[in-house]
Amino acid sequence: MNEYSKMLNQVDKITLDDKTIYLVGTAHVSPESVKLVEQTINEINPDVVAVELCQQRHDAILEQKRWDDTEIDKVIREGKSYLFLMQLLLSNFQRKIGDELDIKPGSEMLKSIKIAQEKNIKIALVDRDIKVSLKRAFNLMSLKEKFFFVYALFESLFEGEQDSQELMEQLKDKDIITSLIEELGREAPSIKKALIDERDRYIAYKLLDIQARSIVAVLGAGHIEGIKQIIESEKPISKISRLDEIKKLDDVTESLSLWKYAGYLVPALIVILVVLGFTLKGGVFVYESLLKWVLINGCFSALGVVLAFGHPLSVLTAFLAAPLTSLNPLLAAGWFAGLMEAKLRKPKVKDFEQMLKLNNLGDYWRNGVTRILLVIAFANLGSGLGTYIAGASIFASIHDELIALLPF
């Protein structure tokens, strides 16, 4: 058995009525994966090469698109700073593993694209948009899962380096990102559902919709088993049904969770307390309550910006915005503080170039782009904390009077 025949044993072949799909499982940061992809495409010479990429990741790998200040401004205004930060953490984690193994992440995808272009083979991008996947994960996650996810990413990114041989052993059967997400999924199942299970279905349906006799699909090894099971079990499903499922999986409509309802409920309760307080204790209570609301909410949000090393005017912006935005669930103090930070400390070209080269916690504070994201995140966290503390203080001021009104 020659070397290629041995490697071909790692390729799953699915034969359908009108096509044959070859699933090539890769580790994303493995030189062996690059070799396997090259030899498989050259040997099979398929009609289509499908890759586990969306358009954004495709452009990033080919270095056709770079982030700039216009994109960052858009991220802030659309309230997507948390998603962008999550994406950066995942990308830097994978890049760090690639550095340890001396290979650029996504090299096997790049090799697939280049070979297909050289041989005039059609290329199909079959993965869901990374922003949609992260948005759906963020929508599905509870507040506890969100904190756990970010903490775990930081911990994985900044922990000590592993031996390269040990890493290679771990990557034989699964790609590193999928392995990380599956591990996180034990504590936060919503993460695994959105970033693995849903994408397995999405990619499987996309592969089934490709009109070709032979397809080589280059995918993360962690997705192979799930995609294979879906394709083999979904043979009778109609094209219309598949398109409908893909449409549902692309939907990022955010459902109103208990935490979202709380965003509307808390301001309403504060207003009710102030009105009751005015009725029971007069105008002095209203003045004192407003003062508490402004100072506590504003100070905590401003403190968040200070902890993010934000500009003094960004600190002031957070202080002024927080008391008002806390009463409107559609706005956030961090957006205003972040826009001010971006205006006063416009990120430099080198900041954008270094976004995927952040090796330690301090780099996130020193980089002009990620510091803006931290200003947004910390200002919002501070404002949220200040809202509950201020609300509790206002309630405590009228507690005795409210108890006296009870009929028992």
Q: Is 80 exceeded by the pLDDT of residue 110?
A: yes
Same domain, yes or no: 306 and 397:
yes
Boundary of a domain, candidates 230, 249, 268: 249
- pLDDT tens digit string along 362-403? 888 888 888 998 999 899 999 989 998 998 998 888 877 777
Same domain, yes or no: 199 and 333:
no
Q: Is 80 exceeded by the pLDDT of residue 236?
A: no
Same domain, yes or no: 245 and 344:
no
Same domain, yes or no: 290 and 380:
yes
Exposure on the CB side of residue 147, measured as CA atoms within 13 A: 4
Position 262 scores a pLDDT of 62
Position 2 scores a pLDDT of 47
Q: How far apart are CA 289 and CA 87, in angstroms?
A: 40
Position 1 scores a pLDDT of 42
The dihedral built from the CA positions of residue 221, 227, 233 and 235, taken in this order, carries a sign that is negative
Helix and strand totals (H; E) in the chain: 21, 5
Same domain, yes or no: 195 and 314:
no
Same domain, yes or no: 167 and 264:
no
Q: How far apart are CA 98 and CA 175, in angstroms?
A: 11
Boundary of a domain, candidates 196, 224, 249: 249
Position 376 scores a pLDDT of 92
Q: How far apart are CA 213 and CA 205, in angstroms?
A: 16
Position 164 scores a pLDDT of 46
20 beta partners: 15, 214
Same domain, yes or no: 266 and 238:
no
Q: 165 or 277, which is more confident?
A: 277
Residue 273: pLDDT band by 50, 70, 90 thresholds? confident
Same domain, yes or no: 355 and 388:
yes
Q: Is 60 exceeded by the pLDDT of residue 160?
A: no
Q: Is 70 exceeded by the pLDDT of residue 68?
A: no
Strand order from edge to edge, sheet including 20-26: 11-15, 20-26, 214-220, 48-51, 122-125
Mean pLDDT on 123-139: 88
pTM of the model: 0.71
Same domain, yes or no: 316 and 233:
no
- pLDDT tens digit string along 291-305? 999 999 999 999 999
Position 349 scores a pLDDT of 66
Same domain, yes or no: 220 and 287:
no
Boundary of a domain, candidates 249, 268, 287: 249
Position 227 scores a pLDDT of 93
What is the bridge-based pairing of β-strands 20-26 and 122-125? unpaired
Closest CA to 333 of 342, 324, 345, 343: 324
- pLDDT tens digit string along 22-55? 999 887 667 788 889 999 999 999 999 999 998 8
- Can you give the residue range of the structural domain that contains 205? 3-249
Same domain, yes or no: 140 and 176:
yes
E strands, 87-162, in order:
122-125
Residues 6 or more apart from 126 whose CB is under 8 A from it?
50, 51, 52, 53, 202, 203, 206, 207, 210, 217
- Overall number of domains in the chain: 2
- pLDDT tens digit string along 191-214? 888 888 999 999 999 999 999 999
Same domain, yes or no: 262 and 234:
no
